[in-house]
Amino acid sequence: MRYNQLGKSGLLVSELCLGTMTFGNEVNEADSIEMIHRFLDRGGNFLDTADVYVKGESERIVGKAIKDRRSEVVLATKVRMRVGKGPNDFGYSRHRIMEGVDQSLRRLGTDYIDLYQLHVWDNITPIEEAVRALDDLVRAGKVRYIGCSNFLAWQMMKALSYSEFHHLARFISIQPQYSLINREMDREMLPLCKEENVGVLPWAPLGGGFLTGKYQKGETPQSGRLSRGVGESSWEKRALEKNFAILEAVYDVADESGKTPGQIALNWLLQKEEITSPIFGATSFEQFEENLGSTGWQLTSEQWQKLDDVSKLPSEYPQRFLEKFAR
């Protein structure tokens, strides 16, 4: 397992991050703990969860798993989503952030969180209030670094600028949806992250399972995440002509390499300059082992470029206009 620097910090994280959204739901407690221990034993050190995952059960299981191995782990969690029926049980008010971190710390069984992340932009709370509250948590020692997830480029830049101007803790990372079939972040977010030295931690790096090769064109899935039609990982959003063309290229490279389609899709991300650590999940030990098998080798430059070419966004304004004047 290789390690990468996380954004503008001295923190090193494993090239894969184990996501725990399924722990306590699709994966029972005993198997969840076993997966975490296997991940740590193989050199992984980066775990991601959120207060809203399985109503806090994911955090509780993660805390139980790392109880005797806390110093080995870079532990990330998130705040923002609704966690109760009260009017202040969601969002980024100082009240919610302070309550949220204490609740997460109790469930995780630890006295500090390595990476505390804003889960989704909050249109109600000024970002200045949220950043000030996060900075207080860093100064108090409850949080060591801060990050965000699912922000637009201008939203993250506004937060970074405010932190820099007022000498406050700044985001060192962002979690966006990003994969061979979801490259919208190429437009503005990835160039911004490269410019500002912000780590990129893609979620859904396999397109909700689409890039594993389990699904066929013209056949609506009857099981798995894509069969449930929820959010971004719905069949309607995945079953596009372009996506099937990308999948065909993944199959071709998989045949050449003797790897699975999922391993090819993950390895493409591992070799992409702007990417720090893709967040992978698993609902079985078979999936877990397959995903870990994406490390320790590399696509050839020709294979990587083939995948990049078939999946890249169309030329758009203003990028194509600005490229004429690039030096």
The answer for residues whose C-beta is within 8 angstroms of residue 90's C-beta and 6 or more apart is 80, 81, 82, 83, 96
3-state secondary structure at position 278: coil
Is 92 among the residues known to form the active site?
no
Residue type, 135: D
| Residue corresponding to tokens 């591992």 | 270
Question: How far is it, in rounded angstroms, from Cα 326 to Cα 259?
Answer: 38
Q: Could you give the maximum distance between any two Cα atoms of the chain, in Å?
A: 57
DSSP 46: E
How buried is residue 276: exposed, middle or buried, by Cβ count under 10 Å (0-12/13-18/19+)?
A: buried
How many Å separate Cα 158 from the centre of its chain? Answer: 21
Residue type, 227: S
* Nearest in space to 246 (alpha carbons), one of 212, 292, 287, 280: 212
User: In terms of Cα–Cα distance, which of 6, 13, 2, 17 is closest to 281?
Assistant: 17
Partners of residue 120 on adjacent β-strands: none
53, 92, 145, 215: which one is catalytic?
Answer: 53
Q: Beta strand pairing status for 3-5 and 12-14?
A: antiparallel
Using CA atoms, how far apart are residues 193 and 153, in angstroms rounded to an integer? 9
Instruction: Compute the distance between CA of residue 204 and CA of residue 175 in angstroms, rounded to an integer.
Output: 10
Which residues are annotated as catalytic?
A: 53
